Structure 1
Amino acid sequence: MIQFFKTKENSILAVECSQAFSAKDIEKLTWLFSGAQALEETSLEGIFIGPRREMITPWSTNAVEITINLGLSGISRIEEYFPVASADAEHDPMLQRVYKGLNQEIFTIDKEADPIVYIEDIAAYNLQEGLALSQQEIDYLNSVAAKLGRSLTDSEVFGFSQVNSEHCRHKIFNGIYIIDGEEKPSSLFKLIKKTSEMNPNRLVSAYKDNVAFNEGPVIEQFAPATNDKSDYFEIKDIQSVISLKAETHNFPTTVEPFNGAATGTGGEIRDRLGGGKASLPIAGTAVYMTSYPRNKKDHACENGMKERSWLYQTPEQILIKASNGASDFGNKFGQPLICGSLLTFEHEENDKKFAYDKVIMLAGGVGFGNKKDAIKGEPKPGQKIVIMGGDNYRIGMGGGAVSSVETGQYSNAIELNAVQRANPEMQKRVSNVIRAMAEAETNPIISIHDHGAGGHLNCLSEFVETTGGKIDMDALPVGDPTLSAKEIIGNESQERMGLVVDEKDIDLLRTIAERERAPFYVVGETTGDMQFVFENKQGEHPINIALVAMFG
């Protein structure tokens, strides 16, 4: 059932619960909602702007957790709706929709979890789902299916597309270049790496981890003497490494600038958290490059050329919303955005126009770590795989593959499905657990990665790349019961980190996670058989494939 509350500002709070509220429950919620009035009506007339029913907002996630801490049970979602004069009222269609009345069905999605699908025609599935697979990759997957003697599952084909996307593997950037018929000796990636090879200077690690590390000075660390209980703070000297990281988040920011830039900043912070066996962020930067915003009519250079029609957002909207999103995440997480740059550009020559189609949104930052933890350990068979962070939702599906092609190449529905959402408060909790490990005399983390493009697929496959591993599907936290196995495995719900630890250290990590209110799940283990397996309690295998086949 859904209980409606009317706030003092006349917005409506819709609270979804599995049972009717008692008078005591209503009293607690009224206090929590700053005196909002509980309404007797089960449906409301009028026109409202509110979140898309398919996407649970970060605000809802945090609000529901607060109700749990208040002793309320059964609440699954809380969202806010704003009354407007007409259905033409301004709103963000990426995140919001117009509701003509509010009723008990506003959270209902008429969909059941799809079963595992075996893909007979990989080429057709590639186009249908916007996987950006090349013909060579399609031929390769057909050969893998032939060797296995069965069709590949939707999760396996989707997983291959994410793990091997340009976004993740840099196939073009690391490819062979032939210019004027002459094959060049180095790829662009090799040329960039060559600078470090020729002048390593104080370089500790680069091009093989989530961040690069340079050797830093000996610094004073001010931290609790023990990491799992209340204790005195102590000062001790550590040999530091300085972390450096920058990455683009162009496609999501083009489609939905606020959350695109926010999750770009959040993902870059997680990369620094996941450097070595754990490192810590300090400060961030942001760079934006767009076509002309045309926000002033007297700018001759901007208005000398005709503006194109934009598929999702105008450059002006992108610059405002993206800047707000990046700063919003940093402020809420606790990392200042201290510098950045902006470029707007268009040029016309020989009847050809050159400009930015996708925005360039680059998030970067610096941090530090302990030099003893600057290099990841190598997982061994029998170690546990842990995930910390929020639940799985139908968010960012296909982001890695879709972001590797031109905006508008796939259907609007596919591209919207790749949009992500930001929850910096959740990321801060996870960060606090990682900080406790990074500051400890003995860090139990063997390896650590964030969940970015491809979700569990990329993170967990990297953990088990040298051993193989089995993941328990039923141990993965699911916030939306309609998710298929493919969606559970491949979604890009943000603010999640994966760890490999020894079984003996699980209780220590769980204790710290509970203290920081960071969701903590043991989801699998490394095996030693070089297979990548996801298995549920029914004995079904959405993914059961050799790692060598998955990585192509």
Structure 2
Amino acid sequence: MVVYRVYKKGSPSNRTEGTAVKKVQDVIGEKFQALSVETCFYVVLSDDELTLEEHNKLLWILATPFEEHEVGRKSFLVADQKKSSLLIEIGPRMNFSTPFSTNAVSICKSAGLDCVERIETSLRYLISVSNSDIIHEEEEEKVVNSLHDRMTQCRYITPPESFDLEVSSEEVFEVDVVGDGKTALEKANIELGLAFDDWDLDYYTKLFQEKIQRNPTSVECFDLAQSNSEHSRHWFFRGRLVVDGEEYPESLFKMVMATQEQSNNNNVIKFSDNSSAIKGYNVNVILPSNPSEPSEMTEIEGARRHIIFTAETHNFPTGRYDITVKSVAPFPGATTGTGGRIRDVQSAGRGAHVVAGTAGYSFGNLRIPGYLQPWEYTEYTYPTNFASPLNIAIEASNGASDYGNKFGEPVLAGFARAFGLSLPNGERREYIKPIMFSGGIGQLEAKHIKKEDPKKGMEVAKVGGPVYRIGVGGGAASSVQVQGDNKAELDFGAVQRGDPEMEQKLNRVIRACIEMRENNPIASIHDQGAGGNGNVLKEIADPAGALIRASSFQLGDPTLSVLEIWGAEYQESNAILLSKQNKDIVKRVAERERCPVCFVGNITGDGRIKFEDIERDEQQPDLPCKKKKKKNFEFPVDLELEHVLGSMPRKVFEMKRIYPVLKPVTLPDNLLIREALERVLRLPSVASKRYLTNKVDRSVTALVAQQQCVGPLHTPLADVAVTALSYFDKVFVIILSYEILRSISDLLFFNQQ
């Protein structure tokens, strides 16, 4: 393989270049003169050289229309030998194939360039200062740190000649719980970042010493920490609540469920799936006559479509960042909040249609430089491992909007809240850990409401992007009771990166399957989130059990350890169950959509989840895993599902009521009505929402009847959002605005008083 370099003037967007200028200016100050940027494409070829025709075709693909002269084999930037200019190149890490590469390679192969194996892009910055000045080494280091995200990027001192790396994976090891008891688990808790509390340590020590009677592997410990974390299992919501020594008869979850006893029984799915659904209507829809291949579209009359609404918060990844290099996570954290919620809709029943989304943001006092408001306390500081409220408001909303725009989902409604308050007793209440709320609307075929139970012999498949070292330990990291207790590296490893183009490919595969209606090959589907394969594959196999093969996963990074293959929370991936006779049709649809599908295991019926990690047999070249290292554990995970899912006892939470010291509201004596009005109008909940509405798709899909804005100039925000169930019928889903919902809840509360 050879690396073929192609240079292009400028950066992918003006925003990238403008942001870089500001960052460099902040570091080197007044001596900054100019910054020029070019993009370098590293094209990995299977052949030694391109023919002239292939070369011209590649340049045409990489060039911008009417600017073909700005692409070539030689760099457009030249640094002088003095220190008055500096050339810095930032590109993706060698072992991380980017979403851009996946899509660019697909385009090249469609255009006949089969020799293209990978395409990565770097940005080359030429920074110039005045002739009398130089850029010192410490300034150079700060500039590099400000320009890259060390999770996925690094500096190229010299242009890389290869993207291959020789890295040995971490070995699986035993945790000697049988011999050393709780002490051994406490040590693993620190080393692996498991976020076990005392209840967890006691329970798992007893489980392995008395019931299982063997030592757990490091992979099993990591698995239990992620998939049985507060994030994944909602222990507090389902737990036993003891307040001031008195135990409540019901859990919080039971209290919520009890509200349905007074409803009109309008639910078709509740408390038992990835999303909830209410009864819908018979509508006329357009479907392909054969969804597995190109075919004519036909109108289907009287199709029963139920209405899905799902919601979740993505608080932890949206707030974190690494203080050492100011690597901000709100943008990618919010992208995966949107992506994860889309997969929740997809995974309702036996698969569902994604229609539209909502978004909301709650953050602390913004404290905008040069625009400080009277109610914003300047003496308070923020944890060093959290992004600032202002950064969250900008970057989190950018990330969620970016993902939805690239996927093709409109955002129809939402809210923005800033809150920070000091109580009379000095207690501070503020959204330090932000809330990134993501809600989604979907449609569910009446034929696909109930997932099928796993049966012996069924195929277990993963559909979506390949495995990456992303979101490792996310379930545990976001479940720490006191945020900030984690090591920075553990938080850093838990932060996400999203690939909306891959999510759209995954969505088209699921849509094709559910458009087959009664012939839908998907028997059951679950979305992957915190805990990765260790969580989603246990859930989809419960209670029957399954054997999962590590060698059958497609790896986006060949250096992954078996722990990371099993536990990484990489995105854009769903698990499905299907019968053996349906393998070919799913494979055919996935190949058409260029979406990876891996048949990673089978339902065994023995009630155990087993993760097999043996050396790949050379007689099985079709397996996508490239790891060929001798394994020290044939089964790094071998657990009874009943022990880790079914019969786990409820946690007990001891709490005491704290009665706040309150004082009557007092206003400054000299506060004028105009000043009070101006303060209200400056609150983020009241102020202009253009920073949210002007950058997001609000009407794609042709099903949107009322979007975020109204009026001839699209300036006021709408009170409601409305989406149709079909292109033919006047049947709508109406979403009330957050303000209206809050008003209704207030009225109900006061009426009860």
- TM-score, normalization: structure 1? 0.94
In the alignment, what sits opposite 1:174?
Answer: 238
The answer to whether the 8 Å contact 2:522/2:576 transfers is yes
Match of 1:530 among 607, 610, 624: 607
1:420 is aligned to 496
Q: Does the Cα contact within 8 Å between 1:57 and 1:79 map onto a contact in 2?
A: no
Distance in 2 separating the partners of 1:63 and 1:213? 38
Whichever residue aligns with residue 557 of structure 2, its letter is D
- Range that drifts further, 27-36 or 320-329: 27-36
Correspondence 1:130-279 to 2 at 5 A: 130-146=193-209, 147-236=211-300, 237-255=302-320, 256-279=329-352
The 5 Å alignment of 1:472-551 reads 472-538=549-615, 540-551=634-645
Q: Which moved more, 1:429-438 or 1:111-120?
A: 111-120
Query: Per the alignment, in what secondary structure is the counterpart of residue 414 of structure 2?
Result: strand
**Which residue of the other structure, out of 21, 24, 40, is the alignment partner of 1:12?**
40
Q: Match for residue 38 of structure 1?
A: 73
* Letter of the 1:279 counterpart: A
Question: What is the deviation of 1:301?
Answer: 3.1
- Count matched residues: 551
Q: What's the CA shift for 1:26?
A: 4.0
Q: Aligned partners of 1:2 and 1:312: how far apart in 2?
A: 39
Larger mean Cα displacement after TM superposition, 405-414 or 306-315: 306-315
SS of 2:147's equivalent?
A: coil
Where 1:59 maps in the other structure, the secondary structure is helix
Contact 1:3 1:39 in 2 (8 A): no
SS in 1 for 2:9: coil
1:78 is the counterpart of 2:120 = yes
Counterpart among 106, 127, 130 of residue 65 in structure 1? 106
Deviation at 1:532, TM superposition (A): 0.4
1:84 Cα offset (Å): 4.6
Counterpart for residue 411 of structure 1: 487
Farther-moved stretch of structure 1 (57-66 vs 513-522): 57-66
> What is the match of residue 169 of structure 2?
113
How far apart, in 1, do the equivalents of 2:174 and 2:57 lie? 49
Q: State the alpha-carbon separation in 2 of the partners of residues 150 and 40 from structure 1.
A: 60
Cα deviation 1:29-57 (Å, max 9, x = unaligned):
3232215322499x998223334556443
Identity of aligned residues (%): 34
Deviation at 1:466, TM superposition (A): 1.5
- TM-fit CA distance, 1:62: 2.1
Any unmatched runs of 5+ in structure 2? 11-37, 80-85, 128-139, 177-183, 321-328, 616-632, 649-753
Deviation at 1:27, TM superposition (A): 3.9
Structure of greater relative contact order (alpha carbons < 8 Å, 6+ residues apart): 1
What does residue 651 of structure 2 align with? none
Check whether the contact 2:505–2:594 (CA below 8 A) recurs between aligned residues: yes
Matched, 1:322 2:396: yes
In the superposition, the TM-score normalised over structure 2's length comes to: 0.69
Q: Deviations over 1:261-314 (max 9, x none)?
A: 111101101110000011111110111111111115444334443241442421
Aligned to 1:283, the other structure's residue is in SS state strand
Q: The residue matched to 2:439 in structure 1 has which SS? A: strand
Partners in 1 of 2:186 and 2:162 — Cα distance? Answer: 37
TM-fit CA distance, 1:154 = 1.4
Structure 2 matches for 1:276-315, cutoff 5 A? 276-295=349-368, 297-309=370-382, 310-315=384-389
Per-residue deviation, 1:200: 4.5
Picking from 464, 476, 494, the partner of 1:389 is: 464
Determine the C-alpha separation between the residues in 2 that align with 1:176 and 1:150.
30
Return the offset for 1:111: 3.3
Structure 2 residue matching 1:235: 3-state secondary structure? strand
**3-state DSSP of counterpart to 1:523:** strand
SS at match of 1:102: coil
SS in 1 for 2:349: coil
> Which residue identity is paired with 2:345?
R
Residue 377 of structure 1 contacts residue 446 of structure 1 at CA under 8 Å; is this kept in 2?
yes
Give, as a single letter, the amino acid of the residue that structure 2 aligns with 1:548. Answer: E
1:379 maps to 2:379: no
Q: Is the 8 A contact 2:108 2:116 kept in 1?
A: no
Q: Which amino acid aligns with 1:119?
A: V
The DSSP-based 3-state class of the residue aligned with 2:238 is coil
- Structure 1 residues 56 and 516, CA, compared in 2 at 3 Å: closer, same or farther? closer
* CA distance in 2: counterparts of 1:295 and 1:325, whole angstroms: 20
Q: What runs of 5+ residues in structure 1 fail to find an aligned partner?
A: none
Larger Rg, first or second structure (1 or 2): 2
Residue identity matched to 1:444: P
Q: How far apart are residue 383 of structure 1 and its match? A: 0.6
376-385 or 103-112, larger mean C-alpha shift: 103-112
Moved more, 169-178 or 101-110: 101-110
Paired residue for 1:463, among 540, 550, 567? 540
Would you say the 8 A contact 1:55–1:395 is kept in 2? no
Structure 1 contact 11–83 (Cα < 8 Å) conserved: no
Which one of the candidate residues 506, 515, 531 is aligned to 1:439?
515
Aligned partner of 2:50 in structure 1 is: 22
* Aligned partner letter, 1:506: K
Give CA-to-partner distance per residue, 1:178-205, whole Å, 9 cap, x none.
Answer: 2222111122221111111221431111
Distance 2:565 2:422 in 1: 46
1:426 deviates by 0.8
Shift of 1:139: 2.6
Matched to 1:103, the amino acid is P
> Could you say what the CA RMSD is over the residues aligned between the two structures, in angstroms?
2.4
Q: Distance in 1 between matches of 2:404 and 2:375?
A: 32
Bigger CA drift: 279-288 or 512-521?
512-521
Moved more, 238-247 or 100-109: 100-109
- Aligned partner of 1:407: which letter? Q
SS, match of residue 142 in structure 2: coil
CA contact (8 A) 2:91 2:156 kept: no
For 1:440, the aligned partner's letter is: M
Residue 307 and residue 50 in structure 1: after superposition, are their counterparts in 2 closer, same or farther (change >3 A)? Answer: farther
- Does structure 1 retain, via aligned residues, the 8 Å contact 2:331–2:399? yes
The offset of 1:92, in angstroms, is 5.3
How far apart, in 2, do the equivalents of 1:297 and 1:384 lie? 60
Contact 1:118 1:151 survives alignment (8 Å) = yes
Q: CA deviation at 1:97?
A: 5.3
Other structure's SS at 2:358 match:
strand
**Matched position secondary structure for 2:485:** coil
Q: What code does the residue aligned with 2:354 have?
A: P
Q: Report which stretch shifted further, 439-448 or 74-83.
A: 74-83
Distance 1:55 1:346, change over 3 A: farther
Taking the aligned partners of 1:56 and 1:306, their CA distance within structure 2 comes to: 44
